Each structure stands twice: as structure tokens, then as C-alpha cells.
Structure 1
């Protein structure tokens, strides 16, 4: 089920009138029902199934054939947006702040939204992290929806041609057997699970039995990131690679500075 609010004071009268007529039709067919009407009838809140909401979007915006879905992450300040289309052909890209987004027209557009702290691009999803923990997602989500739909309709490239997504686990001639095994486990076992939660983990080295990893996306400021790192990633690596003694998180100083801009 999904909820839609219609604040009459914040939209053109004709648009509100058309939405109201369509809503009356949906209510009459028992496809939606009124949850509450605020004082002086300035805002109408209705509840309907996701399928009905999709039908409503197609009726109101026939030129926009895109339906962006959202998925909660373990980090309450991050949300995963799934546009139903390929975002990056390979790898991931993290933008800790507006200063990092020079190579991505999509990220630049998302950073124009008030309250967006960081943007993370995955194979088929976009993770948005909000700056203010007290700001509710319902305040930001409509602007993110609109920005994503408008961007994909524009035909602009998601990232510039000369930009390269992370290739941290790509095989290297310098890799010994242990490092090669660690990279393979990160790619095949660990990374898919982390990306499912809207984040990513990058390989940053192996020295003296310690695997150094960098967390991105929803994992960056997640309260449970240390638990994930130690109980999840470390245990799996130690099970398959006895040479691994510990896993440590490394932070990019430049990314932290960009996040403060």
C-alpha cells in the first residue's frame, strides 16, 4: 500500500482539480480510500495499492513511462532508489559531496536537492544519503523521484565518458594467491550482499594479515557497519582464507572533506 497527499495550496488549481476527479473515480471503484482530510480541506490524504498508484502516475504523466521504486537500507539516513534501468554498466561510483560530482551529470542534479548529503551509483540503483537525520524521507523523496525521472528522460550520460567506475578487485600481475582469493571473495560473495543494502565495499590492500576495506553508499555512516565488517565480512574471509587475521575500515580523507562542503 502507498499513501499520497494532495496539498491544494502547493499546486495549480487545474492540476489539483484533475487529480481530484481521478481520485473520486478510484474511490468509487474501491481502488483507493480516504485516510483523512485536514482542516478547511486544504490537503487530502488517500491510501491505495502500489498498482493503483502506478496507474495514477501514468494517467497524470503519460510522457513519463518510468516508475522509480525505493528500498529501505540498514542505514536510516540512506535510501535505495531503483529506476528499473541500468545505472552503471560495471562497477560503482561514490560521490561524498557536490565537489566530487563533476564527472556525473546525474549526481550533480541530485545534489541540487536540499538535504542530500551523498550520492552512490550502483549497477541498477542509486543510494541517497540525507544530511539531516531529523528530516523525514517524505520531504526529500518527491524531489529525488522527479530528478531521476527527468534525468533519464533527458538522454544525458549518467557519467562522463572519461570517468571510470571503481575497479578495485580487478586482477593484477602483482597479486599473489592470497590477494587473488580475497578479491574473488569480495566480488562473488561479499559485494553482492552489500550492494543489496545500497552500499559497496572496496578493496584497499592486504598487509600483515590485515585486509583493508573502504565502505561506501549506505554503509558509510550506517550504525551497524562495524558489525557488518567484523561479524560478516571478516568471518567469511577468515573461513576461506586462513591468512586473514583481521579486517579494518579505511576512510578517504578527501571524501570526508567533500562531504562537509
Structure 2
């Protein structure tokens, strides 16, 4: 699956995220369908993305997150400063996209739809209805704001009042993510979906 990069030069700029170990690289090219994002917490998980595989070849890259028109890179250690790393990563991404390098081998949108369907398969009709309300709220109210910070939050499951979500990209390991999860997202879901009693997160790195 290639990008829909515009003809000619690809522009790219780096944008800081709330997580000091993550940097968001924004392009004027579509990398994946709107509303779809993919998180690779390590090189082994990136078999579907040649772009992510190439990024993991940089020894300081510890996590790669790809969304509509940006890539968030999380570095492995604070010893490397972004002042040193940004020029190299920006040059690589610009060259890769301009040359038409493949982003994914298989469209991740289909995989994500299948995963959501599987997650709701063993729920009662009432729980499935509640889960869909939660997914809609996350998609419409939470995801756009989180993506601006270079990350994402995805629904995993709803069971007996407890919503489980996955934190991706810059959100995983972000010092402010706990506050956002509890004071923001949990309060929103409790207010809009009375059945919700708690929101817990997966995909959280050590130190979170």
C-alpha cells in the first residue's frame, strides 16, 4: 500500500508532543486512511509496515506510530536529544515517501475492523450497544485531540462497567497520560454512558 503523496516534493516538519521521548513528524502526504492508525511498540510487531521496519533500523527508535498524515517516533533513551535526531529522521522520511516506498503490505483498516468485530462477538446485545456508544465517543471526541499530540486511544473491550482502551504512539509512557485518562476520558464516558464505572489502559510502557 503506497501513500497518496502529492506530485513533486514532500514537505515534512517536526512537532513536539506532551511525551518528551516522542516526536511527531507531519507530512503533506496521506499515509493511511482517515480514522485509521497503527502502533508498533517494537520491531517485531512491524512486519506489515516496511516504513516502520526501516525506522527501527535506527538504533535509537523504540516505537513507531503511523496515522493519516504523520509518523510519531519514540526514542529509546533520553541520552539522545531531538536536536540531533530530527534532521536525520526528517531526511529519511522525506526521501522514503518521495520515492514511493510502501507504507504497509496489507491495508490496516481491514485488520482493525476485524479486531473490533471479534472484540464484541462474545458480548450480549446490550453490552454490544454500550460498546458501540463508547467507540463513537472515543472516535468523535477523544481521538482527534489525542492525534494532535502524536498518539491515539483505541477501544479494546467493555465488560461489567469497565472500559479497556489501548494507548498508542506518544500516549504510551507519556507523563500526563494518567491524568488525561482519569480526569478527562473516564469522566467523559461516565457522564455520557452511565453504565461505565471505570476506564483502564493497556499498551503502557514502564515508567508510566
Q: What is the TM-score normalised by the length of structure 1?
A: 0.68
Q: What 5-or-longer segments of structure 1 have no aligned partner?
A: 1-63, 257-261
Partner of residue 68, structure 1: 12
Query: 1:81-120: per-residue Cα shift (whole Å, max 9, x none)?
Result: 0011111114111111111222111111111223111100
The yes-or-no answer on 1:114 pairing with 2:66 is no
What does residue range 6-155 of structure 1 map to in structure 2 within 5 Å? 65-90=9-34, 91-155=36-100
If asked which structure has higher relative contact order (CA below 8 Å, sep 6+), I would say: 2
Partner of residue 4, structure 1: none
Cα RMSD between the aligned structures? 2.2
Q: What 5-or-longer segments of structure 2 have no aligned partner?
A: 1-7
Aligned counterpart for 2:145 among listed residues 193, 196, 220: 193
**Alignment coverage as a number of residue pairs:** 191
SS for the counterpart of 2:94 is: helix
Would the aligned equivalents of 1:87 and 1:158 in 2 still touch at CA under 8 Å?
Answer: yes
The yes-or-no answer on 1:241 pairing with 2:193 is yes
Residues in 1 aligned to 2:167 and 2:103: alpha-carbon distance in whole angstroms: 22
Partner of residue 35, structure 1: none
Divergent runs of 4+, >3 A: 162-175
Q: What is the TM-score normalised by the length of structure 2?
A: 0.84
Would the aligned equivalents of 1:169 and 1:184 in 2 still touch at CA under 8 Å?
Answer: no
Query: 1:180-234: per-residue Cα shift (whole Å, max 9, x none)?
Result: 1111101111111111111111111111111001100000010111111101110
Q: Which of the two has higher C-alpha Rg?
A: 1
The 3 A distance-change label for structure 1 pair 102 and 116 is: same
Residues in 1 aligned to 2:174 and 2:120: alpha-carbon distance in whole angstroms: 31
